Amino acid sequence: MSTCPQYIVDYMHEYLDGDISREHEQQLKKHLQVCSDCRQHMQELSDTIAFVKSAAHITAPPHFEDKVMQRLPKGKNRVGIQKWFRRHPIIVAAAVFLLFMSATMLSNYPSDEFSVTTQPNLIVDGQTVIVPAGEVVKGDIVVKNGDLIIEGEVDGDVTVINGQYMASTSVVTGQIEEIDQVFEWLWFEMKDMANDFMALFKE
């Protein structure tokens, strides 16, 4: 057989794969008629295939299906949440918006640094801001992380954040607010924002 060309063996495989051309098939048949070695090779290949094909069909062991079902991941929450997200895009958008909103507000939340609105006739003594008796402050006063004592007059709103507001005989023409909690602070910010918003329309 060693004298036979390699392409004869290639044709055998093409034949076995069922995609041999008519031309090759005729060449192969002609060759097999004259060459007993190749005939034997061909026969062995066919026997090999028959041998493998005689393998019995194997079935899965009993309860295979149940075992697979038990192995499936139970917690489908992940999928559930994804699905919920996909079904309620507006709620998701609103939630994301709120998240960013509150993040901005909280970043505005006063740190423990002391600050006060600069007004010409205020007296600052450490962390205490005093409106001296007999003086009139024109404009709003905001004190953060400090106390405010009013002995004189304020012609505007007064806001004290994280501090105490002390006034006995004072005159404040605007509103007085004392804020010392996060929620109140948020509420204040929101009202403030709403007021600004309304102001836009008023103008």
Partner 1 sequence: MDALVNKRIKQVLKGDQNAFSDIVSLYQHKLYQICYRMLGNKQEAEDIAQEAFVRAYINLHSFDQKRKFSTWLYRIATNLCIDRIRKKKPDYYLDAEVAGTEGLNMYSQIASSEQLPEETVQQMELQERIQYEISRLPDKYRSVIVLKYMEELSLQEISEILDMPLGTVKTRIHRGREALRKQLNNL
Of 42 and 122, which has the nearer Cβ to partner 1?
Answer: 42
Radius of gyration of the chain (CA): 45
Examine residue 83 and tell whether it contacts partner 1 (CB under 8 A): yes
Of 63 and 191, which has the nearer Cβ to partner 1?
Answer: 63
Which span (79-87, 100-108, 124-132, 134-142) binds partner 1, by CB under 8 A?
79-87
Examine residue 88 and tell whether it contacts partner 1 (CB under 8 A): no
Examine residue 29 and tell whether it contacts partner 1 (CB under 8 A): no
Measure Cα distances from 35 to 5, 48, 88 in Å.
11, 20, 76
Of 16 and 105, which has the nearer Cβ to partner 1?
Answer: 16
Site for partner 1 in 145-174 (CB under 8 A): none
Sequence-distant (≥ 6) Cβ neighbours of residue 83 within 8 angstroms = none
Decide: residue 19, CB within 10 A, 0-12 exposed, 13-18 middle, 19+ buried: exposed
Examine residue 4 and tell whether it contacts partner 1 (CB under 8 A): no
Helix (H) or strand (E) holding 186: helix 182-202
Instruction: State the minimum distance, in angstroms, from the CB of residue 114 to partner 1.
Output: 56
Examine residue 197 and tell whether it contacts partner 1 (CB under 8 A): no
What is the token pair recorded at 173?
Answer: 């023409």
Examine residue 111 and tell whether it contacts partner 1 (CB under 8 A): no
Of 64 and 187, which has the nearer Cβ to partner 1?
Answer: 64
Instruction: State the minimum distance, in angstroms, from the CB of residue 6 to partner 1.
Output: 12
Site for partner 1 in 55-74 (CB under 8 A): 55-61, 64-65, 67-69, 71-73
What is the token pair recorded at 171?
Answer: 């005159």
DSSP 35-95: -HHHHHHHHHHHHHHHHHHTPPPP-PPTTHHHHHHHHS----HHHHHHHHHHH-HHHHHHH
Residue type, 181: Q
Are 12 and 32 within 8 A, CB to CB? no
3-state SS class at 143:
strand
Instruction: State the minimum distance, in angstroms, from the CB of residue 3 to partner 1.
Output: 19
List residues binding partner 1 (CB under 8 A).
10, 13, 16-17, 41, 44-45, 47-49, 51-61, 64-65, 67-69, 71-73, 76, 79-80, 83
